[in-house]
Amino acid sequence: MNQTFLREAIRLSLKKMEAGEGGPFGAVIVRDGQIVGRGWNKVTSTNDPTAHAEIVAIRDACRRLGTFSLAGCEIYTSCEPCPMCFAAIYWSRLERIYYAATCEDATAVGFEDAPFFHQFTLPPDRRSIQMSQDLRQEACEAFAAWQRKVDRVVY
């Protein structure tokens, strides 16, 4: 672990929080020892609940690198990623996560990470947001069309 990169994520979390841009979260994405993406929490300043530090850093790195795959990169984040960010890290193909504070630390100061983690362990019919399914066959037709598409870009 390179503590310099982790300290940069923590520095971003504090600096941008004090500037009123959002909560105390920061992240950097590194490839070959160089920062290729930076992010900090922008939820309240952009009215975007998905603008977590990790998501912002992923978007920045992908834009800078001109790719949707961050294979070969690592993420350093000031706090253990929430379920949304954790999933985005997998989707972006980041290879390693380094973090400082824990989910429990975030929960202790009022962030709701722990209950969200718990929701994923429940079957769909027991989750706090009601889920309903319909039109499965119609939706699967789009999947079949995707499989037939010769020029599809797999991700």
- DSSP assignment of 35-86 equals EEEEEE--HHHHT-TT--HHHHHHHHHHHHHT-S--TTEEEEEEEPPPHHHH
Is-contact 56 40, C-beta < 8 A? Answer: yes
Q: What is the Cα–Cα distance from 152 to 110, expressed in whole angstroms?
A: 43
Q: What is the Cα–Cα distance from 94 to 112, expressed in whole angstroms?
A: 24
| Given 54, 95, 138, 141, the catalytic residue | 54
Q: What is the Cα–Cα distance from 147 to 69, expressed in whole angstroms?
A: 21
Q: What is the Cα–Cα distance from 104 to 111, expressed in whole angstroms?
A: 9
54 has catalytic annotation: yes
Taking the CA atoms of 143, 147, 150 and 151 in sequence, report the sign of the dihedral they define.
positive
Q: Which residues are catalytic?
A: 54
